[in-house]
Amino acid sequence: MFGFTHGFPSDVDILLVGPQGQKTIVMANAGGQNKYSVTNLVLTFDDDATSTLPIFSQLVSGTFKPTDGYAALGYPDLPFDFPLPAPAGNSNSPTALSVFKNTDPSGIWKLFVVDDVSGDTGNIAGGWSLTLSIAVPIQIARVYTSTVVSWPASATNCSLQSSASLANTWSDVTNTPGLSGGRYYVTNAITGASRFYRLIQRNP
C-alpha cells in the first residue's frame, strides 16, 4: 500500500478478498487510540513479518503482519462489517494472508477500505499491489516403461526430489535434467512401488 495518508488511521479497516472468495482483514483499529495522523506511508503486509502494526502508537512505514486491533484489544467479535460490495460476513475474517495458500490466484483481487468513523479523511495516493509466491507446476507423463517429470526452465535454482511415500524422507533425484521446449525434464524408470515427486527451490 503506497502513500497512505489519514487524519485518524485507527478508523481505517482494510479487507483483502481473493479471486476464489477467501478473505482476510489486513488492517483494522491500528495506529493509536489517540489522533495520530500519518502522511504518505508505505505499508507492506506479510505473515512472516517480525511484528504487527502498532495498536496504541503512531503508524510508520514498514512491513507488518496483518493486524486486527479489535481482536488485540480483546474484542474479536466486535462487528465492523464492510458495506457492499464487500462480501457478507467479513467481520469474522481471519487476520492472516495464509488463507490464500494453495488457492488459484488467477482472477480479480479486491481491496476494500472503510473509514468507520466520520470526521476525518485520507487516501492511498499510490494505490496498492500484490507480490505472489507461486509454486512451480511440475508435469508427470508416462513414456513406455519410464516416467518423465518436467518443469518450466524459468524455475531456476530448483531440485527435483522423490519419495516412496508422502510420509517418508524425500531425496534428491540425481539424474541430470535435460532441456527441451523451454522445460527441464528428468526420465526415471517405473518400478513396482509408488513414487511421489516434488520440486524445491534452493537458495541462490
Tens digits of residue pLDDT in 65-105: 999 887 777 765 555 678 889 888 776 677 899 998 867 77
What does the pLDDT read at residue 189?
A: 86
The pairing of strands 146-152 and 183-189 is antiparallel
What does the pLDDT read at residue 118?
A: 82
* Per-residue DSSP letter, 65: B
Q: Which candidate, 101, 109, 113, 88, places its Cα nearest to that of 26? A: 113
Q: Which candidate, 59, 49, 85, 62, places its Cα nearest to that of 5? A: 59
Positions of E strands within 7-101: 12-17, 23-28, 38-45, 62-64, 67-68
Please report, for residues 16, 22, 51, 98, 123, the alpha-carbon distance to residue 101 in angstroms, rounded to integers and kept in the order given.
Answer: 14, 10, 21, 5, 29
What does the pLDDT read at residue 87?
A: 87
- Number of helices and strands (H, E) in the chain? 1, 15
What does the pLDDT read at residue 62?
A: 97
Mean pLDDT along residues 5-9: 93
What does the pLDDT read at residue 54?
A: 93
Burial of 90 (0-12, 13-18, 19+ CB in 10 A): buried
What does the pLDDT read at residue 71?
A: 74
Taken in order 77, 43, 103, 203, the sign of the CA dihedral is negative
Mean pLDDT along residues 152-165: 85
Mean pLDDT along residues 144-170: 85
Higher pLDDT, 36 or 16: 16
